[in-house]
Amino acid sequence: MLELFCLRLIMKSNSLQGNDLLNSSNAIAGFFYDKQNKIVNYFQMGGINKQLVAENTKLKNELDALKYFDTIQNVIGNIPVVAYDTSQVARNADSLSHSATDTPASKPVIVQTVRPHGTPRVVKYASYNYIAARVVNNSVLSDRNNYITINKGTADGIEKDMAVVTSDGVVGRVAYVSKHYAAIISILSSRPVSSQINGGSIGLTNWEGKYPEYVTMSQVDVRTQVQPGDTAYTTGYSYFPENVAIGTVVAVDTYKVNNTLNLKLKLINNFRKLKYVYVVAGKMGSERAELEQQVAEAERQAAAQQRNP
């Protein structure tokens, strides 16, 4: 107590020593406040993560509202007719001398006029809603199909065959769903994903069952100019939205049997560290799925009639 009383007297009577002691006490207090804030923030990380995921989900939904639009306009086209290129006739007449009875040679060309008709229309061809979910179980060890369990189910709007992505790239699709949980079959499976690279060259991406960091994109046109470092994306022909990143090219091999390219891709997502994902609900997907199912059913019936006339 006497030492503290002496320090207080020194601080009040000597400005130089007092400033030093005051600065030291502020530094010590600041140190302990910093440690206190770190401890508090650590225990608040769960809530902070939930807030960030909710904000990201909101931003992704707002961004999606501005995509997947086409501007189209009807056209009127006349039936093609054969006409003579009058400019070619004039050039022939200037370069060659003909008699009055001669007819200059001319080149017949096909003339077809196409002009817009009606008011241009903006058509939305896809619409998605993103539902954030937390990964509660994850498998990357199976040599055939790997599954991921999330904490959202039918009560949250999750349905079977919905796509699952992260902010970086593809994850998989919903295979099984209950009221409060869903099981996702990841891209680390035997089921191929329609993919594209460099100008829209289409191929199929699937996992060979070896390393969870790599997949193979096959059936790529051999004329495609591909280099290591290029990124492969989804096509939108499957359950995924269009232009979601899959992986980057690390090796290119030519498959000479059918003159195609095989691309080894390093996955964008690290499947060993998945924490949060987004389930993609296609608002227009059900209509498209029903139509394609009707087409498939009609094809099966037609094939059956041909076998049993």
**What does the pLDDT look like over 170-188, one tens digit per residue?**
999 999 999 999 999 999 9
DSSP 110-158: EE--EEEEEEEEEEE---EEEEEEEEEEE----SS--EEEES--GGGT-
User: How do residues 249-269 score in pLDDT, each as one tens digit?
Assistant: 999 988 777 788 899 999 999
Asked whether 269 and 149 are in contact (CB, 8 A), the reply is: no
Percent of the chain whose pLDDT exceeds 90: 22
Q: Can you list the domains of the chain with their CATH numbers?
A: 69-124 (no CATH), 128-288 (2.40.10.340)
End-to-end Cα spacing for the chain: 109
Across the range 114-127, mean pLDDT stands at 72
* Mean pLDDT for the stretch of residues 191-200: 86
How many whole angstroms separate alpha carbon 172 and alpha carbon 170?
6
HSE of 110 in the Cβ direction (CA atoms, 13 Å)? Answer: 5
Residue 87 has pLDDT above 70, yes or no: no
Q: What pLDDT does residue 112 have?
A: 61
Whether the predicted pLDDT of 283 surpasses 60: yes
Which residues fall within 8 angstroms of residue 131, CB to CB, at 6 or more apart? Answer: 57, 152, 156, 157, 158, 278, 279, 280, 281
Task: Provide the pLDDT for residue 76.
Answer: 73
Residue 160 DSSP symbol: T
DSSP state at residue 78 = P
Report yes or no: 86 and 78 within 8 Å, Cβ to Cβ.
no
Lowest mean pLDDT among 18-32, 232-246, 261-275, 294-308: 18-32
pTM of the model: 0.66
CA 195 – CA 242 distance, rounded (Å): 9
More confident residue, 207 or 9: 207
Q: What is the pLDDT of residues 212-247, one digit of tens each?
A: 899 999 989 888 888 899 999 998 788 888 889 999
Which element (helix H / strand E) includes 300? Answer: helix 285-307
